[in-house]
Amino acid sequence: MTTDQYVLTHVVGSGLGTILGIFGVFALAAHLASTHARNISLLAMVITVLGQTLFLMVIGISAVAAPLEGQAYRAGIYALRDLPSTTASVAQGLIGLLVITLSFLGNSLLGVAIWRSRILPRWTAAVWTVAAVLMYPLGLVVAAAMTGSTPRTVLVGALLVTASGGWIAWCVQQGSSPAGRTPRLDPAIVDLAAGSSRRGTGR
pLDDT means per 10 residues, the chain with 203 residues, are 62 79 94 91 96 87 67 65 73 88 96 93 95 91 80 90 93 67 48 52 49
* b/e per residue 146-171 (b: at least 16 CB within 10 A): eeeeebebbebbbebbeebbeebeeb
pLDDT value of position 191? 56
18 and 56 Cβ atoms separated by less than 8 Å: yes
pLDDT value of position 175? 77
119 and 129 Cβ atoms separated by less than 8 Å: no
The span from the CA of 81 to the CA of 89, in Å, is 12
pLDDT value of position 113? 95
pLDDT value of position 33? 92
The span from the CA of 137 to the CA of 153, in Å, is 10
The span from the CA of 157 to the CA of 85, in Å, is 33
pLDDT value of position 180? 44
Amino acid found at 77: I
Q: How many Cα atoms are found within 13 Å in the side-chain-facing hemisphere of 27?
A: 13
The CA angle 11-65-154, to the nearest 5 degrees, is 50
* b/e per residue 79-94 (b: at least 16 CB within 10 A): eeeeeeeeeeeeeeee
What sign does the CA torsion over 56, 136, 82, 87 have? Answer: positive
120 and 171 Cβ atoms separated by less than 8 Å: yes
